[in-house]
Amino acid sequence: MKIMKYVNMFNRGVSRVQEFLAENGSQPAVFNIDKLTVFEVIVKDANATDLERSCYELRTNLETHGDEYVNMFKRLIFSLKDVDCSANEIQLRVNSARTPHELRMNSARAFMKNILKPAIAMKLVEPLYPDKPHHPKQKYRLTDLGKTMMTMWDKEEKSCNKKD
């Protein structure tokens, strides 16, 4: 930031950054001064849509939980790619990539608690009958956020395969 002359000895750097971002049409920067030796500046892309911003924030949040957690949600999202599924159908699709030991450990109740309900809370998946969670024909589908996350992960996979 100092090289770009956003920070200077008169402590006007923060206000200058905010002014430049406002001129650009971007959202204001978020400054995190809670770190001991440095401070963090978060600037959001002016051209990104709200949905893309939500995806980025969700992805960052998921990654703090580890790779297995991210992979679990990837499997969930890709299992709902073009079809609405019941909870049992989703569980079978998600678990098809797991080892027999993991399958024994994953009951329907645990699947709902640990995978499907968090995905609904994160707005990746939505029930067809949101007012009736125990509807006999209850199925789940991807939300726009879930579809955007799937597209982002799909692009990442393709770019990783090109590098190999």
Handedness of CA 55, 61, 64, 67 (dihedral sign): negative
Question: If you average pLDDT over residues 20-24, what whole number do you get?
Answer: 78
User: Which residue has tokens 């579809």?
Assistant: 147
pTM for the full predicted model: 0.61
> Mean of the pLDDT values across residues 103-123?
79
Q: Beta partners for 40? A: 32
Phi/psi zone of residue 66: left (φ > 0), alpha (ψ -120 to 50 degrees), beta? left
Token output for 87: 């909870």
Specify the domain boundaries for CATH 1.10.10.10 within the chain.
Answer: 51-163
d(CA 44, CA 100): 43
Residue 136 has φ and ψ, to the nearest 5°, of: -60, -25
* CATH (residue range 51-163): 1.10.10.10
The total of other beta-carbon atoms located within 10 Å of residue 161's CB is 8
Reported as a single tens digit per residue, the pLDDT across 58-75 is 777 777 777 777 888 888
For residue range 28-62, what is the model confidence (pLDDT) as tens digits? 777 777 777 777 777 766 666 666 667 777 777 77
DSSP string, 83-121: S-B-HHHHHHHHHTTS-HHHHHH--HHHHIIIIIHHHHH
Which residue would you say has higher pLDDT here, 3 or 42? 42
Dihedral angle at the C-alpha atoms of 103, 107, 111, 114, nearest 10 degrees? Answer: -100
